[in-house]
Amino acid sequence: MKNHTYKLILLLIISYSYMNAQERVAISKMEAQTAVKENNQTLKMSQEDFIQARADFRQTNAVFLPNITASHTGLSTTNPLMAFGSKLNQGILTALDFNPDLLNNPDAVQNFATKFEIQQPLINMDGFLQRKAAKSKMDAMSLKQERTEDYMVFEVDKAYMQLQLAYKGIEVLEKALLTAEANYKMATDNFNQGYLQKSDLLAVEVRVTEIQNQLQIAKSNVQNGSNYLAFLMDANQDLIYKPTDSLQVENLNDFNDTSVAEDRSDIKAMAMATDAYKTMYQADKMTFLPRLNAFGSYELYDEHIFQAGSNGYVVGAQLSWDILNGTKRFGKAQKSKSEYQKSQLEYEQYVSQSQLELNKAKRMLVDAKNKLGLSKLAMEQSEESLRIRKNRFEQGLEKTTDLLMSETQYAQKQLEYYQTIFEYNYAQSYVQFLTK
């Protein structure tokens, strides 16, 4: 048993040395929240999603803005029609060019053309609606980004409270270990004087070993909590963070009459996504209508490259109507209608599920609040019980097993009390997140 104890003590020393070798950084909850908002990878990815949606919306500017192109083309031809047309465009036709022999068998003609074209949409109903749908999608992504930030703040709050709880566990267990070691020394003295049986001494030794093992687990929890907090902040995971804010009961707003608000960012995002699907369905139906576009071009011709011996222009307007495109448009409209109806159902289900989660969270908050008072009372009672038994044990009026049981119970009640504080604060934070 002694060898086993020495091994555990050695393990604790190694672990303690390793934790001390790692840099310790004090951090407040506010600092952790700020670091997450600035560096968290999930938030950065959410921002990129919004940028993509904004880029999609900007592409729909083509519904209003013209499309302008420029080109320069050079060719050499003996094709009768193209040779005659090239000379005509260049403005160099003569009476000799109407000779049938030259018309049918022309010499090679070089033609260089510089052309500027413009296409201006005038009436494009499906394009207008597609732009509106892209705007709704962009707004939805903006709200989703806002909700993602709310979630990451909630997540870092939880991680910070878990780290607070881990340090409280170390604090409780270190005090329990000091008490257990003092009792072990006293039990050893009593055993050497013949006042205590071997079995009682072994029981005290086992208790010391149990606390040492629990303390090692608590220190591992600190490292795990620090690693997760560093992950959320996208920071160095070799650091050990120590909260500057102590674990204590936080009293936030009264959430008894709260319900899921429709203006909550994620719910508004779902509503806007549904509007986008609805608008896309309307846009698909509008593809049955004609489109009106204006067009124009300005052309420069010459037989030498990058010259402009002749020029001309073309302007006009086109009313086009795809009367029948197989059944493609009908199928596309049916699909977009189904997507819109599915989106409506998803929105209603999401709101209902959010209300379900809120009701559950409020009950969890009530339970944690009730448990908080009871766990505090139990901790105080176990502390008093331990004090009485320890005094009686020192006077030889109490059994070793009863003292050990009181020590174990007091440590457990302390840990339970701090766990209840964590649960209460977490429940408040969760309800606030669901109603924000």
Beta bridge mates, 70: 116
pLDDT of 18 reads: 47
pLDDT at residue 395 greater than cutoff 90 = no
Residue written as tokens 């086993």? 4
Interval 302-319: pLDDT, tens: 888 888 888 889 999 998
The fold adopted by the segment(s) 2-39+124-287+325-435 is Outer membrane efflux proteins (OEP) (1.20.1600)
At 72, is the pLDDT very low, low, confident or very high (cuts 50, 70, 90)? very high
> Mean pLDDT throughout 154-180?
91
pLDDT of 230 reads: 93
pLDDT at residue 401 greater than cutoff 80 = no
pLDDT of 8 reads: 47
pLDDT of 193 reads: 81
Interval 273-283: pLDDT, tens: 999 999 999 98
Q: Is there a common fold for 2-39+124-287+325-435 and 66-123+291-321?
A: no
At 325, is the pLDDT very low, low, confident or very high (cuts 50, 70, 90)? confident
> Mean pLDDT throughout 333-356?
92
Interval 191-228: pLDDT, tens: 888 777 888 788 888 888 888 998 999 999 999 999 99
> Mean pLDDT throughout 380-403?
80
- Bigger pLDDT: 396 vs 288: 288
Judge: domain 66-123+291-321, CATH 1.20.120: no
At 69, is the pLDDT very low, low, confident or very high (cuts 50, 70, 90)? very high
Domain-by-domain residue ranges, the chain? 2-39+124-287+325-435, 66-123+291-321
d(CA 110, CA 74) in angstroms, rounded, equals: 7
pLDDT at residue 64 greater than cutoff 80 = yes
Average pLDDT, whole number, for the chain? Answer: 86
> Mean pLDDT throughout 353-374?
91
> Mean pLDDT throughout 81-90?
88
Interval 233-250: pLDDT, tens: 998 888 899 999 888 888
Interval 146-166: pLDDT, tens: 999 999 999 999 999 999 999
pLDDT at residue 251 greater than cutoff 60 = yes
pLDDT at residue 97 greater than cutoff 50 = yes
pLDDT at residue 96 greater than cutoff 60 = yes
